[in-house]
Structure 1
Amino acid sequence: MSQAPVVGVAVFVVKGDKVLLGRRRSSVGHNTYALPGGHLEFGESFEECAAREVKEETGLDIKDIQFITVTNNVFTEAAKQLHVVAVIMRASLVDPEQLPQNVEPEKCDGWDWYDWKNLPQPLFQPLETMLKNGFSPFPAKLN
């Protein structure tokens, strides 16, 4: 019996030329670096989900939440196969001085800021694929 896809929301929290990443502890993508995010709840907007998940996972308050892309991810390597349609958002911090906290240590080894041109390895597969396809969470600089 095939499982229906789930909808996830992942957030590029940006600060200057850095993005917030955490090392996953879940069965899917274990020990890879990923964006904060989670599953969309019934009746929730993408923006509401982004703000809730970032707050739940990092303690950070975000603003200027914008949709930037969507990815289609099928994970067959894990014990439980999973199909996730991930809505990718971008946001900035309400308070740039606020530090991320590891609110869910059972799911993540901790959060830190990484330079977009020098990301840690290994990256979570959907993020790695986006990067290889030339994606950037930063608006193109106008000349």
Structure 2
Amino acid sequence: MVPRVRISAILRDNANRVIMGNRKGGIIEPGKWQFPNTYLLHGEDFFECAERAFLESTALEVCATKVFSWTNDILEGGYCHDVTFFVLCERKDETQLPELQDVCQCEGWEWKSWGDVMEMGEKDLFLPVYNLLCSHPNVEGMF
């Protein structure tokens, strides 16, 4: 199996909270919290992919601004191998709220404080997010 490139998009609001969704059953790591994410398409750049991930997942129009980290993620006992790039985004319209777009993939979207995210552990976080926090325990200060 060839590793795939996953783009995980992070958006903060004015209260320094981030949007996270709970993965739905039937997909890899159900019940775990994630940032909007998707796989990079052929010919697509990281920013385009992050913006597409947000639009397809939350209906939010965002502007990707910075790739700030990456993780090497071997999921489901080696069944799935992803290299995840984390991209910071900004909302184009601060009044726009996230809406659940893909009911098959996610239970819903919530704003979480970094404190909430840091309190979650491996059993609660999607592996790329957990690996990000392990490699950068001060991730909030990175942007």
Question: Shorter-chain TM-score: which interval?
Answer: 0.7 to 0.9
Q: Pick the structure with greater CA Rg.
A: 1
CA 1:138/1:64 → structure 2, altered by over 3 Å: closer, same or farther? farther
Q: Which residue of 2 aligns with 1:98?
A: 96
Deviates more, 1:120-129 or 1:35-44: 120-129
- Where structure 1 has 5 or more consecutive residues not aligned to the other structure, the ranges are none
Give TM-score, length-normalised by structure 1: 0.87
Higher helix share: 2
Letter in 2 for 1:24: R
Percent identity for Structure 1 against Structure 2: 25
- What CA distance in whole angstroms lies between the structure 1 residues aligned with 2:102 and 2:77? 24
DSSP 3-state at the match of 1:70: strand
Deviations 1:51-75 (A, max 9, x none): 0111001000112521111111011
Deviates more, 1:112-121 or 1:87-96: 112-121
Letter in 2 for 1:68: F
Cα displacement (A) at 1:129: 2.4
CA 1:76/1:64 → structure 2, altered by over 3 Å: closer, same or farther? closer
- Where structure 2 has 5 or more consecutive residues not aligned to the other structure, the ranges are none
Deviations 1:85-111 (A, max 9, x none): 111100111111111000001100000
**Number of paired residues?**
136
Q: Which residue of 2 aligns with 1:83?
A: 81
Give TM-score, length-normalised by structure 2: 0.87
Contact 1:24/1:33 (<8 A) preserved: yes
Note if 1:136 corresponds to 2:139: yes
